[in-house]
Amino acid sequence: MDRVNATTPATPAGDPGDPARAAFAALRTPEGEHLLAELRDHDPADELATATRLRRTHPAELVSAALRQARLRQRAVAKFGAEDAYRMYFTPNGVEQATRTSVAEHRAARFAALGVRSVADLCCGIGGDAVALARAGISVLAVDRDPLTAEVARANAAALGLGELIEVRCADVTEIDTSPYDAVFVDPARRGGRGRIFDPEAYSPPLSWATAAALKAPRAALKIAPGIPHEAIGPEAEAEWISDGGDVKEAVLWYGEGIAPGSFRATLLPSGATLTAPAPLPAPPVGPVGRYLYEPDGAVIRAHLVADIVERCGGRLVDETIAYVTSDVPYSSPYVAGYEITDRLPFNMKRLKALLREREVGVLTVKKRGSAVEPEELRRRMKLAGPNAATVFLTRVAGAPTMLIGRPLG
């Protein structure tokens, strides 16, 4: 979401001279709404000609604001879907940092299943999570310090017909009394002027403050970066990593009633498949490459649950530092992609090229873990031709650079 540091001064809520807020207000007039509707399907490549045409009948500042908003809406379709994105309003940071709808809906469903009926959404940004919570039947207090961001969140609640369930407040989240609410959700800012912030104590507000706020609530969830070190997670939390379509999107720390403290969870969307462990698992065995290779979903890897996959398939790791699992019998699971391995070679470009030419491979999927080779560069050097397809894994086996060639199971 588009979040502002809780301790950073922001434009005062009553300041009417903020150009960004003035431009946003103009977009919500009948003239602004008409322009946005006209620009819904415009081609950004024709933007100069479009702007010239529209400025003949509309103020230049309004046209510029509408074109910016139209671009943001087009970008937002990937996260919110076209039906919502073209009714909502966005800021540049809001589009970039907003929670994907599928992930927000999953989290809202978990809150609802826990019996939560009201949530204090702290650092609400443009309101994506608040929208998902409200659609799950939960009333929301959505708080953000930045006046423009709060106005955008309020406009989005109204545009989607959720204004009665979402109260938006422009305030410092550290000053909000959350005691009247069943649960707290905190999504701290994890970006600064120099890009991503990796130190949880440099989040805004810091993870320590967010954790303290969570522990005061009956139930709580804290959104954090997926790469957070496990040692930074307190024993009171259940840690959940969420992937969508195979891409890890975020991690969430859950607290309170109905939560299993100290446990780890990997959730895969859109299926909703969930793998859990009550505590960190012991290191899995390592052994030779078998007939089958399994690539765990990124959420499983981040949650340190690869050992669970190893146990389920009766397999082993190909290397103690690489999250590829191998076995001698086929194994099917929503948590892995499986492959049948046909060849194992020491890393050698010429040998790989000769093998692919012999097999008439014209389509090559390149996967890598523990290798510095770039997939596109490898494909270019192979000079592929032929009707067949193959997958090559560039990795390490027992510490040695290795190429594994195979094909997907099923």
Percent of the chain with pLDDT over 70: 95
Query: 23 and 158 in contact (C-beta within 8 Å)?
Result: no
* Residue 354: half-sphere exposure toward Cβ, Cα within 13 Å: 5
Per-residue confidence (pLDDT) for residue 198, from 0 to 100: 74
Query: 347 and 397 in contact (C-beta within 8 Å)?
Result: no
Q: End-to-end alpha-carbon separation of the chain, Å? A: 39
- The two tokens of residue 49 are 């000609």
- The two tokens of residue 227 are 């790469």
What are phi and psi for residue 87, nearest 5 degrees? -105, -20
Per-residue confidence (pLDDT) for residue 4, from 0 to 100: 43
Confidence of residue 178 (pLDDT cuts 50, 70, 90): very high
Closest residue by Cα to residue 315 from 305, 335, 330, 333: 330
* Sign for the pseudo-dihedral over CA of 125, 127, 129, 133: positive
Q: Is the peptide bond before 235 cis (omega within 30 degrees of 0)?
A: no
Percent of the chain with pLDDT over 90: 84
Counting runs of H as helices and runs of E as strands, what totals does the chain give? 14, 18
- The two tokens of residue 178 are 């959350």
Helix (H, G, I), strand (E, B) or coil at 318: strand
pLDDT in tens, 213-233: 999 999 999 999 898 889 889
Confidence of residue 37 (pLDDT cuts 50, 70, 90): very high
What are phi and psi for residue 408, nearest 5 degrees? -65, 145
Confidence of residue 12 (pLDDT cuts 50, 70, 90): very low
pTM across the whole model: 0.88
Distance CA 57, CA 276 (A): 59
Per-residue confidence (pLDDT) for residue 17, from 0 to 100: 62
Q: Where are the alpha helices (DSSP H) in 18-127?
A: 19-27, 30-38, 47-54, 60-80, 82-85, 92-97, 101-113
pLDDT in tens, 121-177: 999 999 999 999 999 999 999 999 999 999 999 999 999 999 999 999 999 999 999
Per-residue confidence (pLDDT) for residue 200, from 0 to 100: 77
